[in-house]
Structure formats: C-alpha cells, structure tokens
Chain A
Amino acid sequence: QKEVEQDPGPLSVPEGAIVSLNCTYSNSAFQYFMWYRQYSRKGPELLMYTYSSGNKEDGRFTAQVDKSSKYISLFIRDSQPSDSATYLCAMRKAGNMLTFGGGTRLMVKP
C-alpha cells in the first residue's frame, strides 16, 4: 500500500464549476502538505503548502487538511480551462524528502 493515495481521474468538469481534489495518507508522521500543478510536458509547480489542520485560501484555491482523518483536499472555485492539468499532492515529514500522490488529471471544458 502506498503512503499517499490519490484518485487518478480523469476528472472532467464544466467551466465555472467547483473542483474538489483529494488525497489520503497512512503515515501520521507527515507534517507538511503541498499541492503541485503539472501541465503536460512541464515540471510540477507549487500551488500551496500548509502545516496545520484547517483551511488555507489563496485566490481561487483553498487547501484543507484534516490530520485526524489523514485526508487533504484542494478546492478550485470558478474553474477555468487554464486549470486543466494534473494536480499532485505532496507531503513531508521532518526533513526535505517529499512523498507525492500519483496525481489527478483535471479537464475543465469551456
């Protein structure tokens, strides 16, 4: 069993929809949680990172962490075709090594 699980999708939504992307993890030693966006044939780009349980908002993006359930989410409001990409969750214990989920492919249709 992988330490970090993520539904691979693809997830297809109409423009303007609210998107919910999720990851679960099994190791309670994970302390820091990140979301990366990866466009086709590009490197991952950091969107947000958070430490504590609760919500963190940045523009149209909201990251949510529930440490008690070992569950993290990324919400995208008013989704745009330019949001079409693969979204990767990543987690870190003490130290710098990141453990990634497998990624969810998102398609936002105009």
Chain B
Amino acid sequence: DSGVTQTPKHLITATGQRVTLRCSPRSGDLSVYWYQQSLDQGLQFLIQYYNGEERAKGNILERFSAQQFPDLHSELNLSSLELGDSALYFCASSVGTINNNEQFFGPGTRLTVL
C-alpha cells in the first residue's frame, strides 16, 4: 500500500458526460501528479500540482482539468467524455516538486465510457 488513495475504483458513464476523480496523497506529500494509462498510449503524464498550484502540464486535453485543494487532495475533472477516454487514471504523490525521483502511485480509477 503506497499511502495514496483514489476514489472511485471504477466509473462507468456515457459519452458526453462529466466525471470527477479524487486523489488523496501520502501524508506529508505536497505534490500530486495525474497519469492516464491506456492500452495504445501506455502510461502518460497529464498534470502536476504542488501545494495548490499547477506546476507542470503534459498531454492533458482541454476537456480535462484538475485542481489541488488546501487539504492537498486533488480532483481530476473530465468533461464531454468520449469513448477514447476510457482508461485507467492514476494519481501519484511525492514530497517535493523539484527533481523528485520518488513518485508513489495510487491504485487507480478505471473509467469506462459507453
């Protein structure tokens, strides 16, 4: 158990809908990262937050957004969902924000878009 929690475990929804995925980092970690894992694209970095502020952006679609709250939990919002958004979404956390090699991953949320 990494100490990173994610809810829900599974999410099934329809195209065009909006969903929110939630992540709580390990105790003491200030950075939160979101990743998408699909069969064709593999594990891809989406976005990073550090202590409430956005720090880095990867291949995140404009339909997706995230935020980190004062209690350090983070939410990833996915809107106007498409079939291709079906994937595993992982949250990871680390202590710092600069040159940190140890990112601890949560168990993931499996999103199915029908």
Contact = CB atoms under 8 A, between A and B. Distances in A.
Contacts, number: 56
Given A43-B4, A44-B90, A97 B45 contact: yes
B80 interface: no
A17 interface: no
B105 A97 contact: no
Interface stretch (A54-62, A66-74, A75-83, A99-107): A99-107
A102 B105 CA distance: 17
Size band of the interface chain B makes with A: 20 to 34
A46 B102 contact: yes
B66 to A, nearest CB: 15
Contact of A43 (B45, B90, B97, B99): B90
Most interface-central of A88, A96, A99, A103 (chain B CB within 10 A): A96
Interface residues of A, number: 21
Contact of A49 (B33, B43, B101): B101
A16 B44 CA distance: 33
B43 A100 contact: yes
A109 interface: no
A90 to B, nearest CB: 8
A21 interface: no
Contact of B56 (A45, A96, A99): A96
Nearest to A43: B105
A96 B97 contact: yes
Given A97-B48, A97-B58, A98-B103, A45 B2 contact: yes
Interface in B60-114: 90, 92, 94, 97-108
B18 interface: no
Interface of A: 32, 34, 36, 42-46, 49, 88, 92, 94-103
